[in-house]
Amino acid sequence: MSQAPVIVWFRNDLRLADHPALRAAVEADGPVLAVYVLDEAAAGTWRPGGASRWWLHHSLARLGDSLAAKGCPFVLRRGDTLDIISSLAADVGAETVTGSRAFEPWSRQLEEALNQRLGESGRRLRRFSGTLLHDPDQLLTKSGGPYKVFTPFWRALAATPQREPVKAPPHFKTFEGAVESENLEDWELLPRNPDWAGGLREAWTPGEEAARARLEAFLDEAINDYADKRNLPGQTGTSRLSPHLRFGEISPAQIWQAVQARLARGDARGKGADVFLSEIAWREFSYHLLHHFPSLPVASFREAFEKFPWQDAPDELAAWQRGRTGYPIVDAGMRELWHTGWMHNRVRMIVASFLTKHLLLPWQAGEAWFWDTLVDADLASNAASWQWVAGSGADAAPYFRIFNPVIQGEKFDPDGTYVRKWVPELANLPNAKLHQPWTASASVLKGAGVELGVTYPAPIVDHKQARERALAAYKTIKG
DNA sequence: TGAAATGTTGGGGCG
DNA sequence: ACGCCCCAACATTTC
């Protein structure tokens, strides 16, 4: 009698290395059957946005290739997860389904419901870690509650031993039976009419192999300068691992261990590695917050902000989305996002401050736009970070920290590399006026071929007035 | 992982 | 030589 296969249910863990759920399935010694279910209804309004769908397509294709190379079929199905997995398990005679724990509220509900459904026929779902460094129920404060402040969380995290990454299984037993699989192309995850993904193709290579290469390149070339250069959007000082992490093409445990290995060898030193790991910890912190406060993506963590007098200004929202606010550093960021599906972190903070403070638009409006346009759109990081900037979040920046887009631009893009790249109509302005074209004289503007309000927008709000309006709005909910 | 307003200090121009 | 003012530079506070 042939052994029963184990089904590995893939979600945001599209890799073979450091995949405890896959490892467990392989070690059961029977054949492995890998499955991905595109369940459009399960996530409700949080179904993946356009940029994420593009990435998902390619990431699934790459994972399918890797599995095929090991002789393992990759079954693609679209529809209701419970029906698909439970009937598949019955069809192939699988007793066990394994998967990585996920933390979106709907994902957790799905895990519970699937486990129950499988249980009705004597089967079970086994859940493994893999997406995070630590289980959110395990890393708690001394009083047993979740951390709500980053610094003590970071200290506790750094002091807790990390899980050792597990290697990719060297070979698989192939499931020999015939299992129907859908065609990835038919899922229409890629944009057509128009195909707007040209910028994404130029900027990114999805997949586990590319993720590993990206990490190695970052560790070889940039990590020691990370503390200084990570804030300069005109340079490649960041790791750009975020979309790979988002889809689980690489795990935080792999990153953590790779950095520690470099530190031990002496290849990495100084503040860079420490600051980089703390960014991985911010991701972790966001996930733990989401786990303990599932309303984080929709409601302000600090309750007072539920009464904040947000504006309803569709024209200003549209100007922000399209990179036409008249503030060059803001517009450069929004255009980088639109073109590449990604934005430098420093600029994310600037554009988010501008939306929530200069325009007084609700952070949820920015969150929704990022969800649709970012290739790294991640429920936990996106929600926590928007709330952080807005001032409504856990351990958030104080509301009165209002970025001055001119100062931020001059400080972090001093030679204008970034703005000139993404706002080319300003490229011929001198550095001194590049971040504040409205203060340039008529002759300087003319010499640079800039006509404000025609070739480039005049500022849609006055900084000083907007700042005062924001502080006044904050006063209405303070205390 | 702010910015602006306000306060303080000290060098230099000037009567 | 001296006091006065200006203001850049820096520090503190406030939002």
Domains and CATH numbers, chain A: 6-130 (3.40.50.620), 132-163+207-292 (1.25.40.80), 303-475 (1.10.579.10)
Pair of tokens at residue A399: 């509301």
- The whole-angstrom separation of Cα A448 and Cα A430 is 8
Q: Using CA atoms in the order A443, A445, A450, A451, what is the torsion angle rounded to 10 degrees?
A: -70
Q: What are phi and psi of A8, to 5 degrees?
A: -105, 120
* Residue A458 Cβ < 7 Å to strand C: no
* Residue A282 Cβ < 7 Å to strand B: yes
**DSSP summary character for residue A459:** P
Pair of tokens at residue A247: 């889809």
Pair of tokens at residue A471: 């502080």
Give catalytic status of residue A388 as yes or no: no
C1’ C9 / CA A468, Å = 27
Model confidence pLDDT, tens digit, residues A166-193: 999 988 888 888 899 999 999 999 999 8
Q: In 3D, which of A121, A120, A97, A117 has the Cα closest to residue A109?
A: A117
Amino acid at A398: P
pLDDT at A2: 64
**How far does Cα A116 stand from its chain's mean position?**
30
H/E run at residue A33: strand A32-38
pLDDT at A447: 98
pLDDT at A1: 43
Give catalytic status of residue A345 as yes or no: yes
Binned average pLDDT, 10 residues per bin, chain A of 479 residues: 86 98 94 96 96 98 96 95 98 97 98 98 97 97 96 96 92 86 98 96 98 98 95 97 98 97 91 96 98 98 96 98 98 98 98 98 98 98 98 92 95 96 98 95 97 98 96 90
- The whole-angstrom separation of Cα A119 and Cα A113 is 10
Catalytic residue from among A54, A55, A320, A363:
A363
Amino acid at A64: G
Q: In 3D, which of A55, A43, A5 has the Cα closest to residue A374?
A: A55
Query: How many CA within 13 A on the CB side of residue A468?
Result: 3
Q: What angle do CA A213, A280, A245 make, to 5 degrees?
A: 45
Model confidence pLDDT, tens digit, residues A316-366: 999 999 999 999 999 999 999 999 999 999 999 999 999 999 999 999 999
Query: Which of residues 181 to 210 on A have a Cβ less than 7 angstroms from any strand C atom?
Result: none
Give catalytic status of residue A336 as yes or no: no
C1’ B5 / CA A307, Å = 29
pTM: 0.97
Q: In 3D, which of A113, A90, A92, A104 has the Cα closest to residue A33?
A: A92
Give catalytic status of residue A386 as yes or no: yes
Question: Which nucleotides of chain B does any protein CB come within 7 A of?
Answer: 1-4
Q: Using CA atoms in the order A385, A389, A393, A398, what is the torsion angle rounded to 10 degrees?
A: 150
